[in-house]
Each structure stands twice: as structure tokens, then as C-alpha cells.
Amino acid sequence: MAETATATATAKRTVKFIITRRATPDSEPYTEEFDIPYRPNMNVISALMEIQRNPVKADGAKTTPVVWESNCLEEVCGACSMVINGKPRQACSALIDNLEQPVRIAPMTTFPVVRDLVVNRQRMFNALKRVKAWIPIDGTYDLGPGPRMAESKRQWAYELSKCMTCGVCLEACPNVNDRSSFIGPAPISQVRLFNAHPTGEMNAHERLDALMTDGGIEGCGNSQNCVRSCPKGIPLTTSIAAINKDTTKHMFKKWLGM
């Protein structure tokens, strides 16, 4: 009997969502409220899927389904980044039981809004291109086994490789906005990752040169919001400090003609 009563109470329970929406990139934002039937262990994505299945607002009026992005649903792809209760994070790992209600959802503001919760993260991808965040090798033939990395270096490099280009650190950083050209924490950390690679280090000077131009390493204000918000726990501020040191050494070498 007790189990039946608990199941009945759970079935009647609802969760209120207040979602900031925008029909087009140029239209004004507006909010809509939804009451979603509660289920144990549900996350924000499952709530959005419920709205998609039955797009009816809390007042009973019908509306259009909320648009959002998601892919892996296990905090790997980074596609479902949004602002939940005032903090940028991944919607797939945001469990309703751990969130203050009503749950307020909005798109990230650092990137241009495409529609509703979908944003264009091209700014971040352009930044990764700018710093050449890749290992340039010719893959048209078998190169044999690659150079080995020391285990001590491999361990911290692996932590940097967890970046999923979700954009959360850029959203949390007060220096990344439409009035600034600051490249952001994630690309700087990727420079450290690829410069540490035995093959990637051959192009280290090119990446450091890119970070020494406008919008590069000097744009960091050391707020440390990035490292606190990173869903993967990447030591972003440690990377920024290391790259700051590397760019300074690189600058003096260029002055001395070394």
C-alpha cells in the first residue's frame, strides 16, 4: 500500500520550467512556463523531450516545441550547453532532483542565438583554427609508431584532452563577450596540449605567435570562472599560467633573435 501511495504521489507531481525563447536570431527573447510530469532520475533533456512531445504551456495554451541541441546524452559531445538556473552547464547531466525549482533555462549569451536554446559556437571553433589546435601530420601512408610521451606528461595531457568544446568556460568568462576579441580559456588550454605533444611541439612557435596577437593571452582577467565551471574539471587556469610563461619566453627569444 505504501509503495502504491508513493507511486501515485510521484505520478501527480510536476516540475515547473521557465524557458527563455527566441524565434529568430533577430527577434526579442520571451519566456514561457511549463509544468512537466515528474519522473525519478529525470534530467533537463528528458524534460525538454516531454515538452517536444506535448508542447502545452502551464496555462494550457499550445505553443511550438522548444528547440535545443543534444547528441551523446552522457556529457561527452558538449552540444547541450545552456544556462540552467543562472549557471552554464550541460543539460544532460543536470538532474531535476538536484536543481532548485522552478527550473530556469536560457541560451548561452556569449554566442549568437540561432533559435530558443540553440546557439552558434563558431566563435570558439574559429579560435581553435586560429591557434592550430591539431597535430599536422601526413596521414596518407603508414608512419609507424609515434613518439612516446613520458607517463608524467601523458597523465596531465590526458586531462587537457577531455575538452569537448562545449563553450561553458567561454560563457562563464567575463572577458569573452561581443565587445572583446579575447580567444577564451579552452583554446589557450588546447595550445598547451598540442605544444606538449612530441610532434605538435614542432609548430609550438606558431601557436604561441597566435596567442601573442590581439585577443590572445593578454585578454585573460584571471577571474577563474572558467576552471570552476568546466564540466570535465580541466585545469584551465593552470594551462593559462603555463602558456603565459611560454609566450613570455617566446617573446624574449624573438627579441634576442634566438
pLDDT, one tens digit per residue, over 12-28 is 899 999 999 999 999 99
Q: Would residue 43 count as lying in a domain?
A: yes
What pLDDT was estimated at residue 11? Answer: 59
Residue 237's alpha-carbon distances to 2, 132, 188, in angstroms, are: 51, 20, 10
Please report, for the domain that includes residue 198, its CATH number: 1.10.1060.10
Q: Would residue 2 count as lying in a domain?
A: no
Q: Would residue 173 count as lying in a domain?
A: yes
What pLDDT was estimated at residue 148? Answer: 86
What is the rounded distance in angstroms from the CA atom of residue 102 to the CA atom of residue 46?
16
Both 148 and 196 in one domain: the answer is yes
Both 96 and 126 in one domain: the answer is no
What pLDDT was estimated at residue 7? Answer: 52
Domain boundary among 67, 102, 119: 119
Structural domain span for residue 74: 8-119
What is the rounded distance in angstroms from the CA atom of residue 178 to the CA atom of residue 119?
14
In sequence order, which residues have a C-beta less than 8 Å from that of residue 195 and are 6 or more positions away? 201, 204, 207, 208, 246
Task: Kindly give the parts of the chain with pLDDT less than 70.
Answer: 1-11
Number of neighbouring beta carbons within 10 Å of residue 49: 16
What is the rounded distance in angstroms from the CA atom of residue 195 to the CA atom of residue 242?
11
Domain boundary among 69, 84, 119: 119
pLDDT in tens, 67-122: 999 999 999 999 999 999 999 999 999 999 999 999 999 999 999 999 999 999 99
What pLDDT was estimated at residue 5? Answer: 45
Q: Would residue 157 count as lying in a domain?
A: yes
Give which of 110, 17, 19, 103 is closest to 68, Cα–Cα. Answer: 19
Which set of grid coordinates corresponds to residue 201? 611541439
Both 127 and 177 in one domain: the answer is yes
Both 126 and 249 in one domain: the answer is yes
Residues for the chain: how many in total? Answer: 258
Domain boundary among 119, 144, 174: 119
Domains in the chain, number:
2
Both 163 and 216 in one domain: the answer is yes
Peptide linkage before 25 cis (omega within 30 of 0):
no
Residue that is written with C-alpha cell 580541466 in the block: 234
Q: Would residue 238 count as lying in a domain?
A: yes
Q: Put the strands of the sheet holding 87-90 in their side by side order.
A: 30-37, 14-21, 103-106, 81-84, 87-90
Both 44 and 83 in one domain: the answer is yes
Both 182 and 62 in one domain: the answer is no
Both 38 and 101 in one domain: the answer is yes
Please report, for the domain that includes residue 14, its CATH number: 3.10.20.30
What is the rounded distance in angstroms from the CA atom of residue 129 to the CA atom of residue 170?
16
Q: Would residue 112 count as lying in a domain?
A: yes
Both 115 and 127 in one domain: the answer is no
Residue type, 239: S
Both 154 and 183 in one domain: the answer is yes
What is the value of pTM for the model shown? 0.89
Q: What is the dihedral of CA 158, 232, 46, 101, to 10 degrees?
A: 170
Q: Would residue 1 count as lying in a domain?
A: no
What pLDDT was estimated at residue 136? Answer: 85
Both 89 and 144 in one domain: the answer is no
Which stretches within 108-217 are classed as H helix? 122-130, 151-160, 168-172, 185-196, 204-211
Both 127 and 238 in one domain: the answer is yes
Q: Would residue 84 count as lying in a domain?
A: yes
